[in-house]
């Protein structure tokens, strides 16, 4: 096919993604939902048996080109997330966020892995753990938007959630790197052994990757510092950042067996933080993302959504998995907050806030599917997790705060909701 012919599917994806994204936004849901629906709609074209249409949208060439662009989309999302990660925030909020996140990672990961093990005992430890790892991802943008709207972002609940989300991302990336490392180290999971030489090699490679990446990153930061002073807001800075991000992603996956998204995220953290040009780079990267690459990534997941593998057993597993995804974060983070002497009401809110999933859960799932550890049939349930969490969290958060406002008119607050 001619390269120009790809413009049609791209235009349709962009247009539908924007329309559906706006629709989702109007219903109070994140735009991600809309973009996934757009992809599903484009995917429905598969069922029209008209040869030219099939070639135009689903030819092998088209699928490869779209997969490359959606890969760039994922890398940009993770790079931007890294750039926006402010490691200094962690120091400010102290122990509370660490306790909240730790339980918020362990509980859903344990529940997810346990569910996978109970339904598919023959799949192997690595596969089970990957199902668990998927549930550790959180995306607090919906929560932040709701808290902002309610004027509660600067409260103890708000700052804890934002800081916990940062640690959550970092831990999630480390867990993912380790699991990807083991899977590419030749362990299918079934015959997995902590002490075999292969496993040692995997761990050595991961450590080497982080060491090399950080060392290179420190050098890059110095270069950027110098460039910033000589020519601020210059085009060369975002271009070199982008190239560095691509190199990190490529090397992570190719030479160290670490996920490419880990490389992109790490590149973002290393080039973010204290550099004065970071917001400039972030805005340029985000423009490329929202204008072109992100819609293609989300739509491509929607396009590939396949209900063919949904056996009754998998349906049952999926339903339990969705419940575990929601409960795991709610309980894990809620208990973590309670342990740090939050009130019951605030603990509930922290749990709710951390419950929301969006782009990161999709990216992790994709990684698991590509590694052969996670079934492709899980996508509809991941979709459901995003949908339910982003519908439930705003409703319940608003309800919880509304409930608190009322008692102020009465002299005695209901006993079950304490005051700070």
Q: Where do contacts with a second copy occur on this chain (CB under 8 A)?
A: 2-8, 10-12, 14-15, 18, 22, 61, 64-65, 67-68, 70-72, 75, 235-236, 238-240, 242-244, 246-247, 249-250, 253-254, 260, 284, 287-288, 290-292, 295
Separation CA 158–CA 143 (nearest Å): 9
Cβ(221)–Cβ(215) under 8 Å? no
Q: Closer to a second copy at the Cβ: 177 or 393?
A: 177
Length of the chain: 420
Per-residue CA distances from 296 to 175, 185, 301 (Å)? 27, 30, 9
Could you give the CA distance from residue 254 to residue 110 in angstroms, rounded to a whole number? 30
Residue 244 or 266 with smaller CB distance to a second copy? 244
CB 202 within 8 A of CB 181: yes
| Closest approach of a second copy to the CB of residue 236, in Å | 6
Radius of gyration of the chain from Cα atoms?
22
Q: Hey, what are 187's tokens?
A: 């362990």
Least Å distance, CB 348 to a second copy, is: 34
> Between residues 91 and 236, which has the closer beta carbon with respect to a second copy?
236
Given a contact cutoff of 8 angstroms between Cβ atoms, the answer to whether 100 and 340 are in contact is yes
Shortest Å distance, C-beta 325 to a second copy: 27
Q: How far is the CB of 81 from a second copy (least distance, A)?
A: 17
CB of 409: closest distance to a second copy in angstroms?
38
Q: Least separation, in Å, of the C-beta of 90 and a second copy?
A: 30
Give the residue with the Cβ less far from a second copy, 247 or 316.
247
Residue-wise DSSP of 46-68: GGS--HHHHHHHHSHHHHHHHHH
Please report how close the Cβ of residue 76 comes to a second copy at its closest, in angstroms: 10
Q: Are residues 302 and 39 in contact, defined by beta-carbon separation less than 8 angstroms?
A: yes
Nearer to a second copy, 7 or 402 (CB): 7
Q: Which is nearer to a second copy, 179 or 324 (CB)?
A: 179
- Residue 95 near residue 340, CB atoms below 8 Å: yes
Say how far apart CA 27 and CA 121 lie, in whole Å: 40
How far apart are alpha carbons 335 and 105 in whole angstroms? 12
Nearer to a second copy, 325 or 362 (CB): 362
Q: Which DSSP letter does residue 292 get?
A: I
Q: Distance between CA atoms of 378 and 315, rounded to whole angstroms?
A: 9
Q: Return the structure tokens found at 179.
A: 């699991």
Q: 53 or 313: whose CB is closer to a second copy?
A: 53
Shortest Å distance, C-beta 13 to a second copy: 9
- Sign of the C-alpha dihedral computed for residues 312, 314, 315 and 321 taken in this order: positive
Residue owning tokens 């608003």: 398
Which among 362, 337, 359, 363 has a CA at the least distance from the CA of 348? Answer: 337
Task: Please identify, using beta-carbon distances, which residue of 227 and 391 lies nearer to a second copy.
Answer: 227
Are 191 and 122 in contact, with CB atoms under 8 Å apart? no
Q: Which one, 338 or 367, has the nearer CB to a second copy? A: 367
Residues 166, 268: contact at Cβ < 8 Å?
no
Tell me how far, at minimum, the Cβ of 42 lies from a second copy, in Å: 13
> Shortest Cβ distance from residue 1 to a second copy (Å)?
9
């Amino acid at each position: 096919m001619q390269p120009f012919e790809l413009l049609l599917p791209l235009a349709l994806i962009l247009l539908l993604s924007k329309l559906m994204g706006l629709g989702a936004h109007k219903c109070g849901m994140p735009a991600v939902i809309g973009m996934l629906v757009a992809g599903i709609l484009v995917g429905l074209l598969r069922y029209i048996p008209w040869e030219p249409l099939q070639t135009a949208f689903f030819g092998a060439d088209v699928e490869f080109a779209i997969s490359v662009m959606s890969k760039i989309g994922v890398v940009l999302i993770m790079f931007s997330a890294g750039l926006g990660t402010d490691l200094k925030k962690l120091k400010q909020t102290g122990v509370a966020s660490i306790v909240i996140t730790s339980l918020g990672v362990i509980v859903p990961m344990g529940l997810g892995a346990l569910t996978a093990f109970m339904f598919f005992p023959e799949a192997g430890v690595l596969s089970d753990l990957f199902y668990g790892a998927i549930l550790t991802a959180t995306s607090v943008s919906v929560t932040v938007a709701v808290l902002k709207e309610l004027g509660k972002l600067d409260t103890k609940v708000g700052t804890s959630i934002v800081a916990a989300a940062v640690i959550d991302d970092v831990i999630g990336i480390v867990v993912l790197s380790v699991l990807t490392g083991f899977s590419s180290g030749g362990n299918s999971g079934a015959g997995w052994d902590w002490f075999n030489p292969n496993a040692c090699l995997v761990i050595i490679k991961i450590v080497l990757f982080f060491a090399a990446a950080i060392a290179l990153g420190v050098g890059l930061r110095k270069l950027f510092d110098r460039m910033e002073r000589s020519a601020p807001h210059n085009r060369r800075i975002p271009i070199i950042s982008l190239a560095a991000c691509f190199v990190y992603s490529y090397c992570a996956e190719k030479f160290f067996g670490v996920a490419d998204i880990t490389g992109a995220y790490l590149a973002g953290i290393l080039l973010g933080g204290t550099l004065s040009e970071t917001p400039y780079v972030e805005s340029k990267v985000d423009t490329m993302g929202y204008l072109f690459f992100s819609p293609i990534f989300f739509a491509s997941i929607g396009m590939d959504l396949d209900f063919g593998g949904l056996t009754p057993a998998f349906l049952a597993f999926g339903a339990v998995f969705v419940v575990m995804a929601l409960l795991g974060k709610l309980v894990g983070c809620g208990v973590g907050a309670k342990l740090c002497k939050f009130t019951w009401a605030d603990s509930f809110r922290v749990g709710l806030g951390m419950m929301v999933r969006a782009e990161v859960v999709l990216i992790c799932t994709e990684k698991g599917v590509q590694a052969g550890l996670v079934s492709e049939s899980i996508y509809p349930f991941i979709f459901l997790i995003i949908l339910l969490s982003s519908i439930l969290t705003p409703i319940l958060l608003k309800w919880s705060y509304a409930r608190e406002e009322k008692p102020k008119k009465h002299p005695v607050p209901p006993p079950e909701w304490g005051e700070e």
